[in-house]
């Protein structure tokens, strides 16, 4: 765990996948063609709290969805890249925009499409219910499943490693 905390202490940008990480992988389609996803409120607050410490948060997803845009806006996430089946170009754009290195970046994923990013950053994280092959290549695996608090767990890991978690928590006392 010490190695993970050391890696997490250097993170300036954390990037999340959506389906299977910020949601439970379920996508609902209504007869009118609308798409629905469920997001975890604890994860949303975790993103806001992490952002308040100065760590940048990004999202890169293969699908395009207005509900993802709305939810990320509510959580304060401004770095949103949708429609990237190959997520590497989106990460490259984001790193150039923020002038961060891959070593200063963490990526949280759950499926094969996420592996190239997980393996190219300083801290590659898989959610507890990620594909087994993906878990074999992760630096760290959450205890919580995707869409069920995994993102909050990751945010708290980063804040703990950077010494900001206790101060963030004390704001609510």
Region 144-151: what's the mean pLDDT? 98
Q: How confident is the model at residue 114 (pLDDT cuts 50, 70, 90)?
A: very high
Q: Tens of pLDDT along 42-94?
A: 999 999 999 999 999 999 999 999 999 999 999 999 999 999 999 999 999 99
Residue 97, pLDDT > 80, answer yes
Of the candidate CATH numbers 3.90.550.10, 3.40.50.300, 3.40.190.10, 3.40.50.1000, the domain formed by 2-170 belongs to 3.40.50.1000
Q: Count of CB atoms within 10 A of residue 131's CB?
A: 18
Which sequence spans correspond to the domains of the chain?
A: 2-170
Q: How confident is the model at residue 34 (pLDDT cuts 50, 70, 90)?
A: confident
User: Which residues on neighbouring strands pair with residue 35, listed in sequence order?
Assistant: 29
% of the chain surpassing 90 pLDDT:
92
Q: How confident is the model at residue 28 (pLDDT cuts 50, 70, 90)?
A: confident
Mean pLDDT of the chain: 96
């Amino acid at each position: 765990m010490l190695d993970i905390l050391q890696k997490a202490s250097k993170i300036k940008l954390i990037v999340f996948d959506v389906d299977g990480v910020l949601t439970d992988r379920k996508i609902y389609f209504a007869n009118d063609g609308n798409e629905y996803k469920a997001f975890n409120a604890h994860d949303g607050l975790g993103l806001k709290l992490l952002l308040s410490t100065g760590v940048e948060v990004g999202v890169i997803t293969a699908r395009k969805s207005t509900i993802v845009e709305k939810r990320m806006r509510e959580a304060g996430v401004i770095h949103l890249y949708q429609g990237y089946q190959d997520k590497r170009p989106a990460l490259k754009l984001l790193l150039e925009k923020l002038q961060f290195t891959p070593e200063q970046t963490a990526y949280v994923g759950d499926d094969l499409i996420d592996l190239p990013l997980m393996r190219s950053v300083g801290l590659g994280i898989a959610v507890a219910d990620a594909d087994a092959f993906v878990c074999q290549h992760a630096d760290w695996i959450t205890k919580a499943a995707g869409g069920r608090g995994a993102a909050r767990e990751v945010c708290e890991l980063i804040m703990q490693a950077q010494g900001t978690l206790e101060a963030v928590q004390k704001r609510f006392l």
